[in-house]
Amino acid sequence: MRIHCKIVLLAVCLGVLLLSYFFWGNVGDEPAPPRQVEEDHKLSSFPSASGLGKIVAVKAVKPPEPPKQIRPSRKEGYGGGGGGGGGGNASAKLRQKSELGQSGLKVTRAEVVMHLAVVACGNRLEETLTMVKSALLFSIKKIKFHIFAEAELREQFKKELSHWPQPLSSKLQYTLYPITFSVGNAEEWKKLFKPCAAQRLFLPVILNDVDSLLYVDTDVLFLRPMDDIWKFLKAFNSTQLAAMAPEHEIPKIGWYSRFARHPFYGITGVNSGVMLMNLTRIRSTLFKNSMIASGLSWEDLLHPLYQKYKNHITWGDQDLLNIIFHYNPECLYTFPCQWNYRPDHCMYGSNCKGAEEEGVSILHGNRGVYHDDKQPAFKVVYDSIHDYPVGENLFQSLFYPLQTKFLDTVNTLCGRVPQVFLKQIEKTMKAVFEQKVVHHARPLHRQHR
């Protein structure tokens, strides 16, 4: 029995010795790292002369990149928050916050609204309504209309606008204002030129919560989206705060260059029938003038300027604007003539190159040409927009009748170059058609496929 125990004990000791030998004998022989093994395997798979084999070899010996920390992009924004939770949960929370941030940004972003002001007195109701109609027909962004009118006219505006068809009324947003003048004699201001025209001078004071504004006369028609002239605000440099088009292109036949008895802007003066304004800048600027060396604010400047020049001005508020920008030329941006196209640009021969190349963008029918037979080309455009039945096909019910009527004007001074009047409005209507019909049809087409 004792002998058997000794034999078993001896066998156990020998086994322990053998295990120790094998373990300690193999410790110094480390296996090749996983990278190296992978490299050798890939290299053996391609011939050494192969370009692809070389590319794979280079890729294989490149050490693996450390795992990147997950961060939101700038678009998604950085989310705050405390610790806790695993990596997967943190990433999910971060993505959720990013998505909430994006959707929140879309909801809270203020919609861009353009502001348009017009002053209507006397018999200007129909003209004004036609102007508003032309702006709404083609514009893309929303327009807020600021309509200044006498008490009786305000009631007529309410009545007429309340009966407008849904395609226009759904886009219409307006406020009616009385005629008011913050300084000087109101009756004197009203009679300065045409009834109430001087009201435009006081827009920066009255509309003190509006940043930027387009003012137009009642006899203006938009032949392309108002959005396009609104873009000029971004073209202003750091000192410019208003934009107007020259009164004329040729000094020899321009009114200011021949007859003005007061200072005026540039060589031919400017026309104020279409005037784009950064009201915020106007309100915060001190304007140089010939009366006070230190400069005057817009509101403080108007009345003394009128008192000084009232016996020398012919075109009322437009002359006062010319005087202001004569002394402050760095404050004015000038439009090309196609943005305020008037009979003066064609009745002495075509002298607006921009309109010949691009077509008229904004038509200004001053001199009463919408209502007489002196310039039939202007009257044809006005009548076509005035008579257009809203909701009908633009080409069939507006452009084709306009094109047909223009044939009767080709022998007149301004009708000799029909593309001047027709080019831009045709281009605009094509864009409207594509936006309303083609773009809406494409998603449906994809669905059927």
Taking residues 190-210, report their average pLDDT.
Answer: 86
Could you give the number of structural domains in the chain?
2
Q: Give alpha helix (H) positions in 116-275.
A: 125-138, 151-162, 166-169, 186-190, 203-206, 226-230, 255-259
Instruction: Identify the residue whose tokens are 């044809």.
Output: 380
Print the domain residue range for 221: 114-335
Report which of residues 397 and 67 the model is more confident about. 397
Model pLDDT for residues 335-385, shown as the tens digit of each residue: 999 999 999 999 888 999 999 999 999 999 998 999 999 999 999 999 999
pLDDT in the model for residue 417: 85
Residues 317 and 374 in one domain: no
The answer on 429 and 282 residing in a single domain is: no
- Asked if 136 and 230 sit in the same domain, the reply is yes
pLDDT digits over 398-423, tens only?
999 999 999 999 999 899 988 899 99
What amino acid occupies position 47? P
> In this structure, are 178 and 225 located in the same domain?
yes
Among 6-15, 298-307, 440-449, the minimum mean pLDDT is found in 440-449
Mean pLDDT score of the chain, rounded to an integer? 80
Same-domain status, 323 and 379: no
Residue 381: which of 401, 395, 367 has the closest Cα? 401
Could you tell me if residue 314 is inside a domain?
yes
Give pTM, 2 decimals: 0.73
Q: Which residues have CB under 8 Å from 84's CB, separation 6+?
A: none
Q: What's the rounded Cα separation, in Å, for the pair 211 and 282?
A: 10
pLDDT tens track for 311-322 = 898 888 999 999
Q: Which residue has the higher pLDDT, 62 or 50?
A: 62
CATH code (residue 118): 3.90.550.10
The C-alpha atoms of residue 233 and residue 333 are separated, in whole angstroms, by: 9
Encode pLDDT of 118-174 as tens digits: 999 999 999 999 999 999 999 999 999 999 999 999 999 999 999 999 889 989 999
- Asked if residue 11 belongs to a domain, the reply is no
Contacts for 5 with CB less than 8 Å, ≥ 6 apart: none
Does 27 map to a domain?
no
Q: List Cβ neighbours of 201 (8 Å cut-off, separation of 6 or more).
A: 302, 317, 320, 321
Among candidates 177, 120, 169, 175, which has minimal Cα distance to 144? 175
119 and 220 in a single domain? The answer is yes
Both 372 and 331 in one domain: the answer is no
Residue 268 has pLDDT above 50, yes or no: yes
Whether 133 and 226 map to the same domain: the answer is yes
| Of the candidate ranges 213-217, 269-273, 308-312, the one whose mean pLDDT is the lowest | 308-312
**What pLDDT is stored for residue 400 in this prediction?**
93
Sign of CA dihedral 167, 169, 172, 178: positive
Q: Is the pLDDT of residue 45 over 90?
A: no
Q: What is the pLDDT of residues 78-117, one digit of tens each?
A: 333 334 444 444 444 444 444 444 444 444 466 789 999 9
Using 50, 70 and 90 to split pLDDT, how confident is the model at 19?
Answer: low
Domain boundary pick from 293, 316, 335: 335
